[in-house]
Amino acid sequence: MGSIGVWNVRGLNLPLKKREVRQLVSENRLQVCAVLESHVNVTNLARVCKGVFRSWDWTSNGSCCSRGTRIIVGWNKDMVDLMVISQSDQVLHVQVHLKSEDKILFYSFVYAENKYKDRRALWDNLCKHKCFVHDRPWVVLGDFNTALSLDDCLVGPSTIPIGMREFYDCVQHNQLIDVKGHGLRFTWNQKPKNGVGVLKKIDRVMVNIHFLDSYPDAYVLFHPYRVSDHTPCILNLLPFKHTRPKPFKFANFLMKEGFIQCVSKEWAKEVPGVTMFSVVKKLSSLKSPLRRLLFMQGNLHDRVKYVRLKLDDIQKAIDANPLDITLRETESRCIQEFNSVSYDEECFFKAEIKGRMVGSG
């Protein structure tokens, strides 16, 4: 099983920080470890990285940074081969070859800027890199310096700020999804002078659909902060194990725009062999397109919350500007959207209940 860690430690020059990174690598048996916001001067990188990673190889985006190195990546060369594809001051794109499995994975280690306008270059970079990755397994992980939804903040605004919306658009465009996680819910803890401070989920590990095809049981551990104000994020890869075949199932709410075209495209393909073999192969090949279609629908529960809040904002705007015809038209479209996503969520819940009843019978 391979493990990859990423941790914003806010400086790597202090002996305590170096020791804690080494401890993280040892405790979790990491094959690759990325350190963010290292604050290490390029001239000191070799000395610091030798003290942290010992016999490992390492690389950084120090040449792209104006003040201190932002991203450092170390790896166990006995277990993986790592090659840098491209880099900027906010992201380091690499290709990783897992020697034990003879598999190629693509990783993008992110340390985003604080200001949302400065992060736009990062979102554009990730969207372009998606074209390079294409249909191969891709992991995007690190400190994004913004929440993805209002639920990622302990306290915050009642409306979605532009920085969060732009991050959400980037995630949707790249068809990324959070890996299931365990441990801490909030990944950043702003140390308070008075009161409870600020807690947010701004560090995350996201993957594309092709990664989930290879590692459906992968999970992330969000550890306690220890000597940082960010939690270490540990991605554990559990390779797909062939067990007894699972029945072919899909969500009923997928039977809308795009579903017929999706099925027709796969069914039109020629599969040599007897009829039943052809049917089985076509059903199997449908799984990835249907999973992609499901992703395009988005997380149902998040969509319901998002559209509900959007409808609230529109109706508040109408209350302040009751004669605005454009707002009335926008409200009408939003109500239709809310009815649609609420119906999809209801269908999902019914399918879940039915599945549990069948499973317990």
pLDDT of the residue at 244:
52
3-state SS, 62-86, equals: HHHCCCCEEEEEEECCCCEEEEEEE
Q: How high is the pLDDT of residue 20?
A: 93
Lateral strand order in the sheet of 32-40: 57-60, 69-75, 32-40, 3-8, 233-236, 219-222, 181-183
Average pLDDT for residues 20-24, to the nearest whole number?
94
At residue 259 the predicted structure's pLDDT band, cuts being 50, 70 and 90, is low
Q: What is the pLDDT of residue 103?
A: 94
What confidence tens digit (pLDDT) does each residue in 114-130 have? Answer: 999 999 999 999 999 99
pLDDT in tens, 273-285: 556 666 767 777 7
State the pLDDT confidence band at 238, using cuts at 50, 70 and 90: confident
Q: Which two tokens stand for residue 87?
A: 């880099």
Residue 87 pLDDT class (50, 70, 90 cuts)? very high
Identify the band that residue 253 occupies on the pLDDT scale cut at 50, 70 and 90.
very low
Q: Which of the four pLDDT bands, split at 50, 70 and 90, describes residue 90?
A: very high
Averaged pLDDT score across all residues of the chain = 85
pTM over 0.75: no
**Per-residue pLDDT averaged across 12-34, rounded?**
94
Interhelix angle 275-297/259-267, rounded to 10 degrees, is: 150
- Kindly calculate the radius of gyration of the chain based on its CA atoms and give it in whole angstroms: 23
Whole-angstrom distance, CA of residue 295 vs CA of residue 315? 29
Query: Using one digit for the tens of pLDDT, what is the confidence trace for 294-342?
Result: 655 556 667 788 888 888 888 888 888 888 889 889 998 998 888 887 7
